Structure 1
């Protein structure tokens, strides 16, 4: 809990929407109140009891939507005030035991334009939950605008029920079996991924970060899909294999652990429930110098399938059991993460309004480096989240180029040795040649 709180905004989930048109504020307020009433987790705090986090549900389900009216400000000042409010939210440090962890604000700019801000702590929410939030908000707002009652069916269980079920499910036998797998998988000295950095690594891990996006062409995306299908693997497995090769080539290390996330909603009842269900998995593999890409992909497939079969042990519990040698300069077990979003994020739509999501550049990074990818309009979109105390933007741009070159080469020649697959562009090769001949 201290790690999640201590001047650390890396676990804040922030969304910002522009609402153009006439907004029924009463219907919006009523909709958000109903959502917080339905989902106890949105009214939950976390207190420490004997060093262990415990949930405390606030039974007062009255929800008040803070409304900030900027209509009186002159045009030039209004924008500045708006950005000041947004920055305050982005920099907000949650107190998990006292604060409302589901923060919403409405900012009035004029009679036809508002902005809606969501700032939610990750401990009560995940990406899947956003889809549910937007879907429920649309259904409720539509009904309330028409003077109808809530069209939503009651929830079968609450998040606290899931927590109790999880403890019961992870009985001695199940827990022992799964922990034994991870103990074996993560036995011995755990490698620290030493990527070449632009700046000296701080003695204590910082969470300062930035993001950089890129898009793989529809042609390359199509080829990745066809190749994966032909190899009997998922797109996720192909991308993980390629990304691991990139990390190995950058670091010169053969033993690489990569973090990833699972939705953690294997029970049907959990699909309609907001909360934090995501679990983290550590994918460890050996990139010995005699492997072809196809051989390495086979290894990655097995590593992924085994990890999925043992995905129920909470990662925090695994860290406690393994007790890896702690170094405050980096996260334990792995330092780089890969995530593939294979279902499109639900978009917020409200009747009578034009709703647009506003990009807000994050200034935090949970790990040294995270690569998140999602399929969008038949193209794979990637986003790097990188620690700015370690990497310069130009390094991330170069890494993007090398990743794209590597993917193209893999698809052209999957029998090639993983350490000999080209990474450099023609321009970079030419530049090296010129410098070599000087």
Structure 2
């Protein structure tokens, strides 16, 4: 009963049946984590994700949970409780690592989270500002600033009535409105935050006409993440609808705040639990390649550049349906299936069968923090094994095991994992991995505002943290997203080819899950023809009635002193090489060798071999 109730809540359905299957219920990794956290609270059982994936039918899963309760009884998990605001507030592990990184590059905008919206219709500007102020008051994370009077950072929270700062611009009746709008967008994007003073969220409301506005919202990543952006959009919609209608704040009060979670995290992730997670990552990533040797269009700069661009990725409905069937058959989520394909493409491009891919994790395994805005997201380094010519089925199984094990050990912050593994460090690439796959599980909401049509106003994707970032998610019957890339090392045409390789591999996986992954044809007919035919059209006119030694002697007569051969520090001219070859020829003739008679040689690569 508890299991069915949790499923109904998570899926938003009226009922589920005993024989419903996790994979047929749209199962994905985030859903599995949420189910596990709710079960822990409801019946006191920690549900390993591997158990859910091994027993995806609800009745079988309930039986397994019941048996676990009989054997060990329910467990009480430590609750996240509010801490005193009279004592110093601590940073979470994620905040601490990001605070440190910002100290290395003060004034950087690399960790900004921008949002640009175009609002068409009658905007109630008073209700809009009131909604933003209420959000600012509601979430302490948005009001947090980070001070370090003695070098050790701590958290201070700005007053709830301070209000979210919004700069207003009126461009009505200005002939240069669009040009000015672009200038304001650039100005907003390039304005740094002061972490010690805050606020670390700000807005700009730009009025283009009576019924058209552009709203820019910028947050620092240290107080927010992708999931938080979805929460912010949903809560902003609810608040604005209520305030426009003359109603009060409709949002329920929050039992805890982000600083409470940060204090709990430091207490919970310690001792044996910390050692267990550290040992897992130490063993898993030991000996992993420091760099994925992808072929690039340009030499890598000495220091990593964050300049980026993107190409769209669309996996059509027919292929998406096939991938869902393939995933159900092999007990994987869509994310795991696409991850397996992406790792196979990277392996083929790099020539490496040991591939590490970064994967963002929402890291919200506790029910209490699902409604909190804050910096929770963590990054997992998934090491995929493609050695031994695995079949599609075998690679899916390897990927499933890897992904589930990583999810079970997702609490240790990425920077601590790096310190534990101690990979070679360099300024020109990120440690452990340089390629990421992010899967969006409908965590980012959209604004639903009365009397307004809302659309994204931002253009392009001009910053990346890694060489390649594949960002995908389900959109109706399709999988859509973008492949972002570092423009310092890749050209757009190269990335478009990589997108084609991924789609070709996915289609082949659906067609035959028994075939070896390494033998799947990735090249299109056009590219194959270019590589094999066009590039090999090197025919040139030459005296075809002469033998090769006669052509060589003609070159000797033409340029006897020109360098013909270089080996280490030794150089031979055409004349010298010809003289040595003639001496050897006369020696062989003296031994009885005649024209067209083969003579074996046994030599290392050297000038003597060429002679």
Fold match (TM-score > 0.5)? yes
1:226 counterpart residue number:
325
- Does residue 21 in structure 1 map to residue 121 in structure 2? yes
- Does residue 363 in structure 1 map to residue 483 in structure 2? no
- Of 402, 414, 425, the residue aligned with 2:513 is 414
Contact 2:290–2:423 (8 Å) recurs in 1? no
**Structure 1 CA distance, aligned partners of 2:214 and 2:112?**
19
**Structure 2 CA distance, aligned partners of 1:369 and 1:265?**
25
State TM-score, norm by structure 2: 0.69
- Post-superposition shift, 1:413? 2.1
**Structure 1 CA distance, aligned partners of 2:516 and 2:385?**
14
Contact 1:191–1:255 (8 Å) recurs in 2? no
Q: 1:51 to 1:360 in 2, by over 3 A?
A: farther
- Does residue 40 in structure 1 map to residue 140 in structure 2? yes
Deviations 1:340-396 (A, max 9, x none): 112263111111111122232121111111101011121101211211101111111
| SS of equivalent to 2:533 | helix
**Structure 2 CA distance, aligned partners of 1:372 and 1:420?**
26
1:257 counterpart residue number:
356
2:444 counterpart residue number:
345
- Post-superposition shift, 1:253? 0.8
State TM-score, norm by structure 1: 0.95
- Of 141, 154, 162, the residue aligned with 1:62 is 162
Matches within 5 A, 1:137-148: 137-148=236-247
Contact 2:231–2:444 (8 Å) recurs in 1? no
**Structure 2 CA distance, aligned partners of 1:155 and 1:174?**
28
- Post-superposition shift, 1:418? 2.0
- Post-superposition shift, 1:323? 2.8
Higher strand share: 1
- Does residue 424 in structure 1 map to residue 523 in structure 2? yes
| SS of equivalent to 2:469 | strand
**Structure 1 CA distance, aligned partners of 2:519 and 2:106?**
44
- Post-superposition shift, 1:50? 6.2
Deviations 1:269-324 (A, max 9, x none): 11111011111100012211421121111111111111011111111222223332
1:306 counterpart residue number:
405
Q: 1:195 to 1:2 in 2, by over 3 A?
A: same
| SS of equivalent to 1:66 | strand
Uncovered stretches (5+) of structure 2, i.e. residues with no partner: 1-98, 538-611
Uncovered stretches (5+) of structure 1, i.e. residues with no partner: none
| SS of equivalent to 1:182 | helix
Q: 1:18 to 1:273 in 2, by over 3 A?
A: same
- Of 38, 52, 73, the residue aligned with 2:174 is 73
1:188 counterpart residue number:
287
Contact 2:147–2:154 (8 Å) recurs in 1? yes
| SS of equivalent to 1:56 | strand
Quick one: higher RCO (CA 8 Å, sep 6+), 1 or 2? 1
Matches within 5 A, 1:288-303: 288-303=387-402
Deviations 1:49-106 (A, max 9, x none): 76654322222532142211111422xx000000111112222333322332111110
**Structure 1 CA distance, aligned partners of 2:299 and 2:231?**
42
| RMSD over aligned Cα atoms | 1.7
Q: 1:193 to 1:437 in 2, by over 3 A?
A: closer
2:101 counterpart residue number:
3
Matches within 5 A, 1:42-121: 42-48=142-148, 53-59=153-159, 61-63=161-163, 64-74=165-175, 77-121=176-220
Contact 1:8–1:207 (8 Å) recurs in 2? no
**Structure 1 CA distance, aligned partners of 2:309 and 2:261?**
34
**Structure 1 CA distance, aligned partners of 2:289 and 2:149?**
31
Q: 1:53 to 1:215 in 2, by over 3 A?
A: farther
| SS of equivalent to 1:119 | strand
Residues 411-420 or 105-114, more deviating: 411-420
- Post-superposition shift, 1:435? 3.4
**Structure 2 CA distance, aligned partners of 1:396 and 1:191?**
22
Computing the radius of gyration from Cα coordinates, the structure with the larger value is: 2
